[in-house]
Amino acid sequence: MANRASIIGVGSTKFGSILETPELKDKTFQEIVAEAAFEAMDDAGISPNEIDGFIVGNMLSHSSQIYSHATVLSDWLGLRVKGGFHFDTACSTTNTGMGIAWQMVTSGKYKNVLVVAGEILSSAPKGNFPLEREPIDAATLWEWTDFGVDHVYAYHHFYDVASAYGGFPTIGYMRKNGLTPEEIDRVMMAVNQAVRRHSSLNPKALLYERGTLEEEAKREGFASVEEYWQSAKNPFFAWPTRLFSALNTADGATAFIVSSEPEHYKQMPVDILGYHWAASNYPWYEEDTTHWDIDYETFKQAYKMAGVKPEDIDYLYVHDCMQIYHLILSEVAGYVPFGEAWKYALDGEFAFDGKKPLNVSGGRHGGGHAFEASAGFEVYEIVKQMRGEAGERQIKPLPKIAAQHNHGYGMHSAVTILKAGE
């Protein structure tokens, strides 16, 4: 039995669109996944021959037009006849995959496990030929996302994503903390300003080229960022949640390698100290719309396994499909006191140079949300931050312990605790 599981290499494509983004244009699912995987191998200084297990995450095979993910990619990645499989916990997949990889290497059966995931959400094959593609409208994308629950509940759940994941929790947080609609709107603008500042400093982020929210407001002809935030360009998506507080879907792929022998490879390892997962069927229909038992349980058990306390966390990454969860989950994690997160946001303390850095890659709005690859985007960021390789958005001093949280639609919750190795 091995007693150590460490991340030794990370990789990520640019997040964008295979229809438009130069770094991704006209690439296939296999190509973007291979790009991320080989970047992770190069980063670790490891060859495919040294990887003896791999996990492939993909949620929307409709758009990638590939179903036998592990079998096809075994050849693309140089991993033929290696131990591989496809798995899915929606948007928490690569976080869950880290825990699975931990189990694989600590069992002693595997030494090096590749976790890789990719999504193509901008388009779908035209007809039956995967290389000829056409854009996907938002309604179709979410119909595919909701396919399983539609059959259970006999109605389409798109409005739940907006209202139940955005509007209801925002109202709940506002009421619990005595904030007016105008005040919570200012808070959420501050959250988005931090998100956009981070994505403007991250070349792999979806909105990197668009710059900060302030720069975009000026470019759009507005006198102030406040005027832009309250304009028709940013309507209420599900009151009191505005459009800019929601995710932006993207195409992209990410990868990382977990090893039981990190001392054999070139990079400073990042140790997996603890993790936990929990599942619940639509937890948002509770009296308190800010309280999900699955999140409390995952943080509690992950901290316990890791042997750390909330006050030990130097950097936190939370699932921000809707940005209200910057506030809710930073409090659930114990990263900031209950009822105080909105103040930290207004004071700019969630920025990379603030007291409590949060989602410094740009989150799912500025960084982009490629469903199952997104958690890997966060792993990439955490590892780069711990190595001191994050460039202009580098957290100082370098974070030693990080907590990563993800939701998987339906609902799944995953938390992993990571520590900079020796």
Q: What is the pLDDT of residues 269-288, one digit of tens each?
A: 999 999 999 988 766 667 78
Residues 3-33 pLDDT 10s: 899 999 999 999 999 999 999 999 988 999 9
Residue 154 is predicted with a pLDDT of 47
Query: What HEC string does 4-25 produce?
Result: CCEEEEEEECCCECCCCCCCCC
pLDDT value at residue 61: 60
- Regarding predicted confidence, which is higher, 106 or 72? 106
pLDDT score recorded for residue 136: 83
Average pLDDT in the 70-74 region?
81
Q: Give me the mean pLDDT over the 328-356 stretch.
A: 98
Tokens of 25: 């244009």
Residue 393 has pLDDT above 60, yes or no: yes
Residue 307 half-sphere exposure toward CB, CA atoms < 13 A: 3
Enumerate the domain spans of the chain. Answer: 6-141+249-264
Residue 3's pLDDT is what? 81
Distances (CA, A) of 37 to 13, 51, 109, 202: 9, 11, 22, 20
Place of tokens 């200084």: 45
- Maximal C-alpha separation, the chain: 62
30-44, 102-116, 141-155, 395-409, range with the lowest pLDDT: 141-155
Please state, in angstroms and rounded to a whole number, the distance separating the CA atoms of residues 258 and 337: 33
User: Is the pLDDT at 372 greater than 90, yes or no?
Assistant: no
Report how far residue 254's alpha carbon sits from residue 377's, in angstroms, rounded to the nearest whole number.
6
Mean of the pLDDT values across residues 375-382?
96
Residue 147 has pLDDT above 60, yes or no: no
Q: Under CATH, which architecture does the 6-141+249-264 domain have?
A: 3-Layer(aba) Sandwich (3.40)
Higher pLDDT, 234 or 289: 234
Average pLDDT over residues 81-94: 86
